[in-house]
Each structure stands twice: as structure tokens, then as C-alpha cells.
Amino acid sequence: MKYKNIMLFQVAVVFIGTIVGAGLASGQEITQFFTTYGYKSFIAILICGFLYIIFCSVMVSISINHNLSSYNQLINLVSPGYFGKATDIFTGFFLISSAAIILAGSGALLNQYFGVSKWIGIILMTCISLFTLLRDTKGLITINSFIVPSLTTVIVSIFILYILFSNDMIKINSLKNIQSSKQIILPAQWFISGLLYAGFNTLCCSGVLVPLSKEINKKNILIPGIIIGALGLTMLSIMINIMLSCNIPYIFKYEIPLLYIAKRFGTIVQIILLCIIWCEMFSTEVSDIYSIGKTLEQKFNISYKKAVILVMIIAIPISQIGFKNLIKVLYPGFGLISLIFMIQCIYFYIKRKP
């Protein structure tokens, strides 16, 4: 029983750590995809959490039933046509771009707040990531077993401090009255935003969950672990969304909205939050490169360690290119492709269910 509980915990933290990233930890993703839609954002977050459970459970079940070892195999199995090939290429491109952007972000973060050269941040992130990645799946589990509980502790602590000491009175009725601050183009745009966010994160997760499914190979551990992780992630997202919603429109001026909220609680809290954001950058960097490394190992029959080093060598020069405008298009586009693929996964699972 103790062993099973440890495994459940490990699956849950890997799931949370893969999805969270610096974007969610900073509050920026929650702001863009949810908070801007007012009180309906809370409904969208709950729907997103439910979709995580459905999509990832189906993905894990398919992986175990067909003995898959990489996201590339999952895509080829579920969607063998032209759309599947496009999804495969787009996923690889997105993961490499994401890894490069995180390297650049690490350099910028240390440069902005500590005044050191951006290359120090890039080299530091590269070295620590490689050290962790060369330990294969154990390295991925180890870092998330530390980072995710630390993230949870910091976010919950800031939320409690906000409730106890903030001058803003948090009332359910006032949250219900918050209107959308984004120009609405499509009907039920808040709902579509939640769907795209869920789809985008789930396909990103496939790069970690598929190899993990092969190694653990037990649905009674993987699926409950995913459920626990999805519930924990949903609660963290709701806490962040409450704090952000109560600080509209001020949060829109900042690239790290949660840092604006933490500012009122002193420098120490700010520094702790910055450390957590950097750690989440690190966690996402490891998850992205791990995903690509496992795929290259399976697809081109090269060793996992060589694949990881190759991806990192490619990512470092790409990190010097400005990706800000590209990501504005890349994230929603990848979300749409991911959502279509997840629907294909559900159809495939129902059709081939043993």
C-alpha cells in the first residue's frame, strides 16, 4: 500500500509539473486564457480540469493497451493520415520552441532581477537540465517530487496571506459581477478558450505520460494519479484566478501578474515566488526535452542521452531569436490541433476498447 501511494504521488506531481510551467506559476497563462473572461473563467477552469482527467486517462489507456513508448507512436496509431503527420511535426516544433524560449526566459529573469549576463541564466539552466535529463525518467520524477510540493506551498501561502491581510474583500457576489475584459469575437469564447487550453496542455503531457505508461504499466496507479494531479492543478488555478480577478485591471500591466500581488507581502515573498517560477521553467524544460528525446530514441534508433544532448544543442541558438509574436499565434494554433487530436483519441479508444 505504501509503495502504491508513493507511485500515485509521483504520477500526480509529474502531471502537475509538466502542465504548470512558468506561464501558469507567474499567473500569465491564467490571465490570458481565463481571468480576462470575468466570472465565467471559474467555470472554464473546472471544465478544463474535467477534460484533463478524460483526455489523459484515455491517452494512458491507449498507451498501455498498445504498448506505446513515445508521443510519436501515439499520434501515428490514432491519426495515421496527413493530419497525424502534421500534428507530429507541429508537436515536435512546439516542444523545441518551448525549450528554447524557456532558456531565453531563464536568462532574462536572472538578468532583470539580479543584473547578471543573460548567458549565465542560459548556461545554468542548460547544465542543470542536462544533469537531470541524463538520469532518464528517475530524474524527471525526482525534480517534480520536490518542485511541485514547493509550488503548491508557495501558491497556497500567498493565497492565505491575501485573504488574511489584503484590503480587498473577497466576496463570492463581487466575483460573480466581474465582467469580461477581453473583446469578444466568438460566442462562448470563454468556453472555447478553456477547451484550447486543455487540448494544448494534454498533448504536451503526452510526451511524458506515454513513456511513463510504458514504465509503470498499471492503470490503477496512472489514472488515479492523473485524477489527483488534475484536482490539485484545478484548485491551484482557482486560487490564482481569485487573486487575479480581484486585481483587475492592474494585473494587465505586468508580465508576471502574481508577482504584482505578492509585492504587497514584502521582498522575501517576492524572491521566493521568483525562485518557484525559475524552478517551474526548469521543470518544463526537462519535460519538453525528455519528450523529444524519447521520440528521437524510438524514431531514429539513437540513444536517449545522445538525443537529449542534440535537442539542447539545437535549442540554445534558437533561444536567441525573439519568439514573443510567434507564440501569440503558436499557442492557440497548437491548442486547436491538440483538441482535434484528443477527440480522435477518444473515438479511437471507444472503437478499439478491448
**pTM (predicted TM-score):** 0.86
Nearest to 18 by CA among 280, 325, 295, 195: 280
> Phi/psi at 27 (nearest 5 deg)?
95, -5
pLDDT at 328: 59
pLDDT at 185: 62
pLDDT at 141: 83
User: CA dihedral defined by 59, 60, 64, 66, rounded to 10 degrees?
Assistant: 10
pLDDT at 186: 61
Three-state DSSP state, 164: helix
Q: Are 159 and 152 in contact (CB under 8 A)?
A: no
pLDDT at 245: 87
Q: Residues in the chain, how many? A: 354
2-352 has which CATH code? Answer: 1.10.4160.10
Task: State the Cα–Cα distance between residues 94 and 96, nearest whole angstrom.
Answer: 6
Task: State the Cα–Cα distance between residues 212 and 226, nearest whole angstrom.
Answer: 12
Nearest to 111 by CA among 102, 122, 100: 122
Q: What is the DSSP string of 204-247?
A: HHHHHHHHHHHHH--HHHHHHHHHHHHHHHHHHHHHHHHHHHTT
Distances (CA, A) of 324 to 102, 141, 283, 295, 340: 12, 30, 21, 27, 25
pLDDT at 323: 44
Distances (CA, A) of 163 to 36, 168, 173, 219: 21, 8, 16, 39
> Residue 48 carries which side chain, given as an amino acid letter?
C
Task: Give the residue ranges of the chain where pLDDT is below 50.
Answer: 322-323, 325
